[in-house]
Every structure is written in C-alpha cells, then in structure tokens.
Amino acid sequence: MKDDTKLTRLGRPHDDRGQVNPSVARGSTMLAPSASALYDFPPGRKHYGRVGLETHDALRGALTELQGGAGCALTSSGLMANTLSILAATEAGGEVLAADCIYGPVRNFLTTQMSRYGVRTRFFAPQMGAEIGDLITDETQAILLESPGSLTMEMQDVPAIAKVARDKGVITIIDDTWSAGLTMKPLQLGVDYAVQALTKYVGGHSDLLMGAVVARDDALFQRLQTTERAFGFHTGPDDAYLALRGLRSMGVRMQRSAESSLTIAEWLAARAEVGAIRHPARSDHPDHALFKRDFSGACGLFAFEVPGWDIATSEHFLDALEVFGMGFSWGGYESLAIHCDPQLKRTKTAHKHDGALIRLSIGLEAPEDLIADLERGFMAVADRS
Ligand SMILES: *Cc1c(COP(=O)(O)O)cnc(C)c1O
C-alpha cells in the first residue's frame, strides 16, 4: 500500500468493537488478574500506566510502520526525542559527532548536559558524506544528523554516512522532522534512530507538543526502551490521540504546503530584492541532487536571503505582514515567518548569508494571499527607505 492509504489505516483498532479510532485510554493503575500474576510481566502485559496504554500503542505502531522500523518511543516534545536517542546511544567517555546545522536546543543539550556525564561533542560541517569516516575515533559512539538542517537547509548524504558509521559500530541518529517520516525514510537509508518532532507536521494544528524515536532493529529498540523506561519518560494519552489524528490528514497537508511553498519561492526568486532561496526541492539548492535521490516530496518550510537588509529592515518587513504570523514553530496549518541568524549558534563552520535570512513555514492558506502579504512587506520596506 502507498503511504497515503497507510495514513488512513495505521493504528486503528483491530478488534470487534467496530471503533474506527482507538480510545483515549487514561490510567495509571492496571489490575493484575490474580495475586500470583502480580509480579509476572510477560511481554505485552501492561503492569502500570507509565509504559503507555492503548492510545500510545496505536500511535507507536503507526509511526513504526510508517517508518519501517522495529519499535517506537514517544516523548513529551521533539527536543526530548532527540535527547532520549542521544542518551540511549552514548555512555561516559564517549563522543558524539553532530552536524553543525542541528536544531539549537539539541546543540545546547549536548554542550551543557551530555558534557556533565562525560560525553563530548564535536561538530562537523553540515554538507558531509562518506568522508565523515575520517572524523570517527575510538571514542565516537553516535553521529547526529539533521537533513535538511534547521534554518540553513543544508543537507547530508544520509546513506553514505549511515554506511560508514555502521561499518565502524557507531549509532546514527537523524532529526527527520522536515520529512515527517513521510517523504524520506531514514531507517531504509540505514540510519539507526529516526527522530521526529510530532509537534510539527504530524500534529499539524499548532496545539500539540510531542516527539517520537523510531528504531531500525530490535536491539536498537531494546536499548531505546530501556533508557526511556529508566528515566520515567511518559506522554499523555490525549496528546497521543491528537498526534494519531494528525497523521490521517498529514499527507494532503504536507503536499499542499509544499506546492504553495514552491509557488511562493518562485515568486520570491523573481523579486529584485531577494537573493538565494534555500528550498531543497528547487534545482537552485546546492544539495538538490541529494533531495531528488532520497526524498519523495517536500514540505512548506524554506528560507530566503535578502542582501543588504539589516535586522531593523527585517523587522519592518515582518511587522507589515498581516497573514503570516511570527512565531517559532512550523508545520501547522497557519503560515509563519521569522528572521534568523544561524551563525549565532554555529561553531564549526561559518554560514555565510548575504543580508537577512527570512524563514517561512507555509501553511494551508491560498498562496495568492500569502504572496500578496509578502508584497505588502516588501512595499513597506520600500516606502521606508
Ligand atoms: C521544533 C523542532 C524540534 C523540537 O520540537 P519540540 O516539540 O518543539 O520540542 C526538534 N527538531 C527540529 C528540527 C525542530 O524543528
């Protein structure tokens, strides 16, 4: 079956209750069938609500199947899905190699928290492939990828890195939020842990914070689940339900956002003010060949440069917008715009952008209205100068 069909079927109850959707199962206490079974935990028996109940199982099963993995852990945020996978993959004395374009709060976790537990982080240039083998040492335990990367949209050669890492016994983790696990299948490309911020396209309605990690094989899943349970991570069943509900329409939402984003990017490219467009699905993106090879589609998140603009000009532009909101999430139904400076966080490589870098998350509005809104912004800047 194609993913579009799968999205309508995954995680549904297969029993004779006739329910289309799973129940929202709230509960801490699970009663044992008998005194002798109290301390008997056969696989599959739920002894306590912290391990997750019916609704969690439905979502975990759906995400596992969508990604073609062996099992899934749910977390209370996308950030925690990253931190859980890092905790599962490392131990004291080890080292993480991380792409210099990763999501800022994950960088912060590595440098301020993992360092306290004796795990070092080295950052590498984001446009990397098999040559990462030269960076791997005896201490290297995990490689953290994000492709395309936050803000800059730089891409890694994911299968090439996964292969080198596997040959050297290093676990690969990818923050795959941009593809939502739908338009790229990192586990099929050889990655060990696929991390998702379900907050973005899976939730899709800006009313949910949640994350997930899907493991490639059983041993990796055992390792993940052992860590998850030891830390006591838990998510609420109402949130799991919302994420599962979001999955149903995710395919059409992403496709619509992606199409609109390309229409808008094309309009921007024709504007005299605009410099480079950073959209992996466009042929002018430096890593477009990797996109074409590894992805079946895009989403609505991209960025563009405006040479000569300082922060005050970017602020003037954004303040003139009436349809785009300004805010930090993305992947919701509503379009968002921010100005940003990836260089503030990077340490390994300089990210040169000319003037301002504006990031857009294109939602479900009519693209004409979004274009008119951007035009309003450019006119406000022109009127000012
Ligand atoms: C938003 C985001 C996260 C974090 O997700 P939260 O649910 O907000 O914690 C992680 N990675 C990427 C790439 C993101 O864009």
Both 154 and 231 in one domain: the answer is: yes
pLDDT for the residue 80: 98
Structure tokens at 362: 């294109």
User: Which one-letter DSSP state was computed for residue 149?
Assistant: P
Both 221 and 73 in one domain: the answer is: yes
Lateral strand order in the sheet of 356-361: 277-278, 301-306, 356-361, 336-340
Peptide bond into 148 cis (omega under 30): yes
pLDDT for the residue 137: 98
pLDDT for the residue 222: 98
Both 241 and 272 in one domain: the answer is: no
| Domain with 151 in it | 3-245
Of 338, 382, 381, 383, nearest to 359 (Cα)? 338
Q: How far is CA 188 from CA 64, 133, 162, in A?
A: 12, 20, 10
116-152 burial code (b ≥16 CB/10 A, e <16): eeebbbbbbbbbbbeebeeebeeebbbbbbbbbbbbb
Ligand 1 touching residue 197 (CB < 6 A): yes
Contact 199, 208 (CB under 8 A): yes
pLDDT for the residue 359: 97
- Structural domain count of the chain: 2
Both 206 and 259 in one domain: the answer is: no
pLDDT for the residue 344: 74
Active site residue 248: no
Of 159, 151, 208, nearest to 178 (Cα)? 151
Q: Indicate the residue among 245, 279, 309 that finishes a domain.
A: 245
Distance 57 CA to ligand 1 centre (A): 22
* E strand spans, 64-205: 71-75, 95-99, 120-124, 140-146, 171-175, 193-197
Distance 79 CA to ligand 1 centre (A): 5
Tokens 């998850």: give the residue.
Answer: 228
Determine the Cα–Cα distance for residues 334 and 255; give it in Å rounded to an integer: 15
Ligand 1 touching residue 176 (CB < 6 A): no
Ligand 1 touching residue 104 (CB < 6 A): no
Both 197 and 279 in one domain: the answer is: no
pTM (predicted TM-score):
0.97
Both 208 and 347 in one domain: the answer is: no
Both 208 and 265 in one domain: the answer is: no
pLDDT for the residue 178: 98
Both 219 and 261 in one domain: the answer is: no
pLDDT for the residue 151: 86
Both 293 and 239 in one domain: the answer is: no
Both 222 and 313 in one domain: the answer is: no
| CATH code for the domain in which residue 305 is found | 3.90.1150.10
pLDDT for the residue 347: 84
Determine the Cα–Cα distance for residues 251 and 248; give it in Å rounded to an integer: 8
> Alpha helices of the chain — where are they, by DSSP H?
3-9, 54-67, 78-89, 104-112, 158-167, 218-231, 237-269, 288-294, 311-320, 367-384
Active site residue 17: no
Q: Indicate the residue among 203, 220, 245 that finishes a domain.
A: 245
| CATH code for the domain in which residue 119 is found | 3.40.640.10
Distance 236 CA to ligand 1 centre (A): 18
Active site residue 333: no
For residues 311, 317, 322, 324, the Cα torsion angle rounded to the nearest 10 degrees is -60
pLDDT tens track of the chain, all 385 residues? 999 999 999 999 988 889 999 999 999 999 999 999 999 988 878 889 999 999 999 999 999 999 999 999 999 999 999 999 999 999 999 999 999 999 999 999 999 999 999 999 999 999 999 999 999 999 999 999 999 998 889 999 999 999 999 999 999 999 999 999 999 999 999 999 999 999 999 999 999 999 999 999 999 999 999 999 999 999 999 999 999 999 999 999 999 999 999 999 999 999 999 999 999 999 999 999 999 999 999 999 999 999 999 999 999 999 999 999 999 999 999 999 999 987 777 888 877 778 999 999 999 999 999 999 999 999 999 998 7
Contact 360, 264 (CB under 8 A): yes
Give ∠ CA 103-105-109 in degrees, rounded to 5.
120
Both 231 and 321 in one domain: the answer is: no
> Exposure of 54 by Cβ count < 10 A (0-12 exposed, 13-18 middle, 19+ buried)?
middle
Active site residue 103: yes
pLDDT for the residue 14: 82
Determine the Cα–Cα distance for residues 232 and 141; give it in Å rounded to an integer: 24
Determine the Cα–Cα distance for residues 210 and 322; give it in Å rounded to an integer: 29
Q: Indicate the residue among 215, 245, 275 that finishes a domain.
A: 245
Both 173 and 230 in one domain: the answer is: yes
Active-site hit among 100, 175, 192, 294: 175
pLDDT for the residue 243: 98
Active-site hit among 107, 200, 345, 346: 200
